[in-house]
Structure 1
Amino acid sequence: MDDNLKDLGEHISAAEPHAVQKWEITHDELTLHVVREQIPSVLKFLRDDSQCRFETLVDICGVDFPSRRERFEVVYHFLSMRLNQRIRVKTTTDEDTPVPSVMDIFPAAQWFEREALDMYGILFAGNDDLRRLLTDYGFEGYPLRKDFPLTGYVEVRYDELEKRVVYEPVKLVQEYRNFDFLSPWEGAQAIIPGDEKAENGAG
C-alpha cells in the first residue's frame, strides 16, 4: 500500500468523520465513500485543504447496479496538479433522491451533472440548468441504464415527403431484445458441413 495514499485517506477521514463512510486503496488509487448529503462539504475540503489541493474536477459519472436498493453510484474524479495526485469519491442514490450539486464549488460540474441526468436519470439538487445534454429533445429513457433496451424505443429518419425528421417506434424483423445469453453454437440444430468427419472419427 502506498504510504502517501494511506496518509491522505486517514487525513481526510479524520477531518470529515461524519461524511466519509470508508476509504480504500485499489490499484494504487484512493477512493472515498461519502454520505450523499455531505458531498459538497467533502469536495470543498478536498479543494481547499493544503494537503489535498484537488482543484481540478476531471469527471462525474454514473454506474448502474439495478439490484441494489440505491441503484446508482455517482463517481467523482479529481486531480491535484500541485501535489501530483488523483482521488476518486463515490456516493449512492436512487431514481428519486437528488444528489447535492457541486457546481458552486466546481463550475465545470454543471455539464457533468447534466450528462449523468441524461444517461442515467440521476438528479442533482441545486443545478439550475438540469436538462438533457447529449440526447435529443423528447428522448425516452436513459441509455446507460442496464435495463435500457439495446435497440432503444424509437428510430429517427428523415422523411423526404414531409421534409423533416420523424420519430417512429423501433420495428425489428427479428426479436433482438430477448437474449438467452447462449453461445450461437449452443442448441444449434443445423448440420454444419464437416461435422460428419468428427462423427466418423476422421482427423
Structure 2
Amino acid sequence: MSHSAPQIAKPKGTVAAIKKALGKDLVRVEETFDEVALYIKRDSLVGCMVKLRDSCDYQQLMEIAGVDWPDRDPRFEVVYCLLSLTKNHRIRVHVATDEITPVPSITEIWPVAGWLEREVFDMYGVLFSGNEDLRRILTDYGFTGHPQRKDFPLTGYVELRYSEEEKRVKYEPVQLAQDFRSFDFLSPWEGADYVLPGDEKGAKK
C-alpha cells in the first residue's frame, strides 16, 4: 500500500493578504486543493513579485516554466513558482504573453531568474526585457526553433553527427534511417504481398 505525502494546508488569510497586496494588478485567483494560482498583468510583474516577497513572505523563486497554448491568444504563459519559508507554502504566478511582447525580467529581485528565463526563452521563444544575458542555454548556438513549442516536430529539423570523412562535427537535415515506414499490420502468417529487404537471402536456389 502506497502512502502519498501529506498535503500542506494553505495558511489562513493567504489569499486575502495577496489580494490586498496586489490590488488591481491581480486578474484572478484560482484555488485547488490548497494550491493558489495567481494570474497577474504582464506589465505589473516586477512590482507584484516585490510585494509577494516583502509583504506576503514568499521569499524564494523556485522555478520558472513555460506553457504553450497554440490555439489561444496570447499563446504563451510564463509560470513562476514561489516558496514561503516562514509559511511552508508555495504559490504559482501566471503571466500571459506572445512571441513578440517581452515579459519583464525579475533578475533584479532574484538573480537566479537569469538562468531560468534563458531556459524559457530557449525552449519556447518567450522574450524577457531586462535580462542582459538572454541567450540559449540548453540547445546549441546555431539551433533553429524552440523545442517545447507544440508545433515543433518531435524529430527536429536537423541532426548533429561526426563525419569521419570530413573529420568534423556537422549539421544535416533530419533523415530517419528506418526501413519499415509503412505498416500493413498483417501477421507474418497471413503473408504480405511485397518483398522486404533481406528476404532474398532466404530464397531457395
- TM-score category of the 2 structures, normalised to the smaller one: 0.7 to 0.9
Matches of 2:157 and 2:12, distance apart in 1: 47
Matches of 2:9 and 2:15, distance apart in 1: 10
Q: Is the 8 A contact 1:73 1:91 kept in 2?
A: yes
Q: TM-score when scaled to structure 2? A: 0.81
Q: 1:162 to 1:193 in 2, by over 3 A?
A: closer
Q: TM-score when scaled to structure 1? A: 0.82
Structure 1 position 162, deviation (Å): 1.9
Structure 1 outlier segments of 4+, above 4 Å: 2-6, 191-194
Q: 1:132 to 1:3 in 2, by over 3 A?
A: closer
Q: How many residues align?
A: 181
Identical residues among aligned pairs (%):
51
Matches of 2:164 and 2:189, distance apart in 1: 46
State which of 134, 142, 159 in structure 2 corresponds to 1:130: 134
Q: Is the 8 A contact 2:9 2:34 kept in 1?
A: no
Matches of 1:88 and 1:25, distance apart in 2: 10
Q: What residue ranges of structure 2 are gaps of 5+ in the alignment?
A: 1-7, 191-205
SS at match of 1:18: helix
Structure 1 position 81, deviation (Å): 1.1
Asked if 1:166 corresponds to 2:162, the answer is no
Matches of 1:24 and 1:7, distance apart in 2: 15
Matches of 1:99 and 1:167, distance apart in 2: 32
Q: 1:3 to 1:142 in 2, by over 3 A?
A: closer
Q: Kindly report the root-mean-square deviation, in angstroms, between the aligned alpha carbons of the 2 structures.
A: 2.3
Partner of 1:97 in structure 2? Answer: 101
Matches of 1:95 and 1:6, distance apart in 2: 38
Residues 71-86 of structure 1: pairs in structure 2 closer than 5 A? 71-86=75-90
Structure 1 position 5, deviation (Å): 5.0
Q: What residue ranges of structure 1 are gaps of 5+ in the alignment?
A: 175-183, 195-203
Matches of 1:62 and 1:190, distance apart in 2: 43
Q: 1:91 to 1:192 in 2, by over 3 A?
A: same
Matches of 1:4 and 1:147, distance apart in 2: 37
Partner of 2:125 in structure 1? Answer: 121
Structure 1 position 56, deviation (Å): 1.0
